[in-house]
Amino acid sequence: MPRYDFRCRDCGDFDGFHPLATVPDAVACPTCAQPARRRPGGGALLHGGTTAMRLLDSTARTASEPAVVAAPPPGARRPVSRNPLHRKLPRN
Ligand SMILES: [Zn+2]
């Protein structure tokens, strides 16, 4: 759920989490219950530097810049398949 910034005239800024389809233009301030307007800008889905954000960044990077390897890592075993049809596949 995206995070949106809201500003209360008296209390200042605070965050609110709302679904994309139902994000309100104003919410009640959690401190004084006055109407607080949503600040301009899109909702932030994730905070930078989190584990989830690092995972998304590395996943996006492998899609555009896949790591190329010349050989399997040392000590890696060949995958073994028990499917008899795989024995008919060409070997390199
Ligand atoms: Zn307030």
Q: What is the pLDDT of residues 7-45, one digit of tens each?
A: 999 999 998 888 888 889 999 999 999 999 999 876 666
According to DSSP, residue 44 is labeled: B
Nearest CA among 28, 21, 47 for reference residue 6: 28
pLDDT digits (tens, 9 = 90+) for 73-85: 888 887 788 999 9
* pLDDT attached to residue 11: 94
Q: Is 36 helix (H, G, I), strand (E, B) or coil?
A: strand
Q: Quote the ligand 1 centre to 86 CA distance (angstroms).
A: 67
Centre of ligand 1 from the C-alpha of residue 15, in Å: 12
Cβ neighbors of 34 (< 8 A, separation 6 or more) are 8, 9, 10, 11, 28
* Cα of 18 from ligand 1 centre, angstroms: 19
Q: How far is the CA of 27 from the centre of ligand 1 (A)?
A: 10
Task: Give the start-end residues of each E strand in 2-88.
Answer: 3-8, 12-17, 26-28, 35-38
